């Protein structure tokens, strides 16, 4: 079975009304900066069970309506300060089972009502 290892720039171009995206249990290593450009309707994004080590600051920026983001069971080690800057609507952020060693100050300040599952 083939697995997706890179989510490339503009992969979802034209899918403007997509609300749910499930990339769980692939072998995603990298998400390019413009992979989710124009996906402003996306509400639920599941990337659990991959090998993502880093999420670049601007990758999540287009996902302004996203309410549920699942990144558990990845290899994330660092969360940069502006990673979630545009995710004010995020209600659930799952980062369980990663190897996070460094969280920049104020990284979660824009999340407001968001909960982090234990």
Run of H or E residues at 93: strand 92-94
Q: What is the pLDDT of residue 99?
A: 93
Q: Which domains does the chain have, with CATH numbers?
A: 1-118 (3.80.10.10)
The separation between CA 18 and the C-alpha centre of its own chain, rounded to angstroms, equals 15
Q: What is the pLDDT along the chain (118 residues), one digit of tens a residue?
A: 567 899 999 999 989 899 999 999 999 999 999 999 888 899 999 999 999 998 888 899 899 999 999 999 999 998 888 889 888 899 999 999 999 998 888 888 888 777 767 6
Q: What is the pLDDT of residue 56?
A: 83
Residue 69, Cβ neighbours under 10 Å: how many?
23
pTM given for the model: 0.89
Q: What is the pLDDT of residue 1?
A: 53
């Amino acid at each position: 079975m083939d697995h997706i290892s890179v989510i490339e720039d503009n992969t979802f171009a034209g899918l403007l009304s997509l609300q749910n995206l499930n990339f769980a249990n692939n072998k995603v290593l990298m998400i390019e900066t413009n992979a989710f450009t124009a996906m402003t309707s996306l509400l639920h994004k599941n990337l659990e069970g991959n090998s993502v080590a880093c999420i670049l600051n601007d990758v999540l920026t287009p996902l302004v309506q996203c309410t549920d983001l699942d990144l558990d069971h990845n290899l994330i080690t660092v969360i940069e300060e502006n990673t979630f800057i545009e995710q004010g609507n995020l209600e659930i952020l799952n980062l369980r089972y990663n190897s996070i060693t460094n969280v920049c100050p104020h990284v979660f300040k824009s999340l407001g009502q968001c909960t982090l599952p234990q």
